[in-house]
């Protein structure tokens, strides 16, 4: 995710899929107009990554491809109210 800072305001200007490099579509105001998976993880005690924080973004196609590699399938549920 790319952030631009203008004064005290931070605004997202571009989201790029970390897997395939696709630049997600944005409107003229910098609002992302397609959905994606954003993951942030701060590793805690008992981890080889203790004290480190990672984050990445995946486009919908790359997220679906990753889910297909899981030994235990992801839980899926239909929702009727979208945020």
Q: With residue 59 as reference, give the H or E element that holds it.
A: strand 53-59
- pLDDT(1) > 60: no
CB atoms near residue 58 (< 10 Å): 21
Distance CA 12, CA 35 (A): 14
pLDDT averaged over the chain?
A: 87
Average pLDDT over residues 44-72: 95
Distance CA 75, CA 63 (A): 14
Distance CA 83, CA 80 (A): 10
Residue pLDDT, tens place only, 9-29: 566 668 999 999 999 998 888
């Amino acid at each position: 995710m790319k952030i631009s800072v203008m004064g005290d305001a931070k605004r997202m200007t571009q989201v790029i899929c970390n897997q395939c490099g696709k630049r997600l579509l944005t409107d003229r105001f910098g609002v992302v107009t397609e959905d994606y998976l954003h993951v942030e993880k701060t590793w805690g005690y008992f981890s080889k990554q203790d004290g480190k924080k990672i984050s990445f973004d995946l486009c919908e196609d790359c997220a679906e491809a990753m889910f297909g590699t899981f030994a235990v399938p992801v839980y899926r549920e239909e929702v009727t109210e979208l945020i």
